[in-house]
Structure 1
Amino acid sequence: MDIDEVQLRPVREADLAFLGRFAVEPGLIGPNWYGFRDAGRDRRRFESDGWLGEEDGRLIVAVGDQTAGFLSWGPTGHGAGRYRSIGIVLLPEWRGRGVGSRAQLLLCRYLFTHTPVHRIEATTQPENAAEQRALQKIGFQQEGVLRGAEFRDGEWRDIVVFGLLRGDLPAE
């Protein structure tokens, strides 16, 4: 696989079954399984705005003609200092191959090019060393740990916060 084959594209109606799998297949999403969710949510959102809202959205991660996962972003922050938080989900067979870091880099470039946002944030579990490396590889800096900020698998867990400012993004 050539890393330049990784591309982002808008969600298509044909992707809705793929997206719905993450709501009903335990373990497919990896350690971020939060229990069964409404599998029809993705279709309703797609029908309202194609998953491309004013402040949030979702794009498909494609490698060549194969769907590898998806990225999402949404608003976070305080007052006038609103910024975006991003997340990625890849199918198990695409993890550990550089697809995630490349896709997240492309999303950050997209957001910095097409929105006035100055800061992008990403969070992950302390034990997810691969995601931490992927974020650092594209310029994110670890900013801290939010203790007991995520409820998953029956207990409150810590999350690690990473931030990227517009000027931190590496040149193409």
Structure 2
Amino acid sequence: MDHDNPIRLRPVIEDDLAMFRRFLTEPFLIGRDWFGFRDAQGPARRFATDGYLGEDNGRLIVEVERDRAVAGFVSYMSGVYGGAARYWEIGIALLPDWRGLGIGWRAQAMLCDYLFSHTPAQRVQAGTQPENVAEQRSLTKAGFQLEGVVRACEFRAGQWRDGYLYSRLRDDPSPL
């Protein structure tokens, strides 16, 4: 672990909603995943519903322990293969100042460990764009393996684009 930037995952608090609104209303703050302007009041409604700790999806804040700075968030959403095999799909959004510091891969590995500890899921998966080499490295460091190309899975910047699918299974060793 990078001792200069030890991190932790924690539940969302009301003060975090301003960051979520920024990701929805500041073009390209989220990077390649900008899908246009979204409802800036949505985060407050979701927080009021379940504090972003839903049974089938949610978010946790990535906090840098040293100064309790919020670096971004991780997300998780459940899915089902074959009608019975539940899995989690995870994602991450870091604020620009915190990218490239080794925080992302650790946050994703921590989220996987958390999901494997608290749910019976056998699989956690994550997708990224072919041009996002930094996220591909991050997922690999977090213990994920590339499974393949998912063709035309994302509409972004006016066209359908391919994605890469990565997974980590319960029996795969944690890099932490």
Counterpart CA distance in 2 for 1:3 and 1:34 is 33
**In the alignment, is the contact (CA less than 8 A) between 2:151 and 2:161 conserved in 1?**
yes
Question: Which amino acid in 1 is paired with 2:78?
Answer: P
Q: Report the TM-score when normalising by structure 2.
A: 0.94
Aligned-partner SS, 2:171: helix
Match of 1:163 among 164, 167, 170: 167
* Corresponding position: 1:121 with 2:137: no
How many residue pairs align between the two structures?
172
Residue 39 of structure 1 and its aligned partner are, at CA, apart by 1.2
In angstroms, what is the RMSD of aligned CA positions? 1.3
For the residue of structure 1 that corresponds to 2:130, the secondary structure is: coil
**Partner AA of 1:88 in structure 2:** I
Q: Which residue of 1 aligns with 2:41?
A: 40
Matched letter for residue 42 of structure 1: P
Which structure's residues are more often helix, by fraction? 1
Taking a change above 3 Å as real, the CA distance of residues 171 and 91 of structure 1, as seen in their structure-2 partners, is closer
Name the structure 2 match of 1:131: 135
- Match of 1:69, SS state, is strand
Do 1:3 and 1:98's aligned partners in 2 also have CA atoms closer than 8 Å?
A: no
Superimposed CA distance per residue, residues 89-138 of structure 1 (whole angstroms, 9 cap, x where no aligned partner): 00111111100001001101100001111100000000111111111112
Unmatched tracts of structure 2, length 5 or more: none
Aligned pairs for 1:1-172 (under 5 A) are 2=3, 5-64=6-65, 65-78=68-81, 79-170=83-174, 172=176
Judged with a 3 Å threshold, the aligned counterparts in structure 2 of structure 1 residues 133 and 112 are, in CA distance, closer, same or farther, namely same
What percentage of aligned pairs have identical amino acids? 55
Q: 1:152 to 1:171 in 2, by over 3 A?
A: closer
Q: Kindly state the Cα deviation for residue 55 of structure 1 after the two structures are TM-superposed.
A: 1.6
| Alpha-carbon distance between aligned partners in 1 of 2:96 and 2:144, rounded to the nearest angstrom | 23
List alignment gaps of at least 5 residues for structure 1.
none
Q: Is the 8 A contact 1:8 1:61 kept in 2?
A: yes
Q: Compute the displacement of 1:171 (Å).
A: 6.0
Distance in 2 between the 1:163 and 1:77 partners? Answer: 14
Q: CA deviation at 1:6?
A: 0.9
TM-score (normalizing by structure 1): 0.96
Measure how far apart 1:3 and its partner are: 5.5
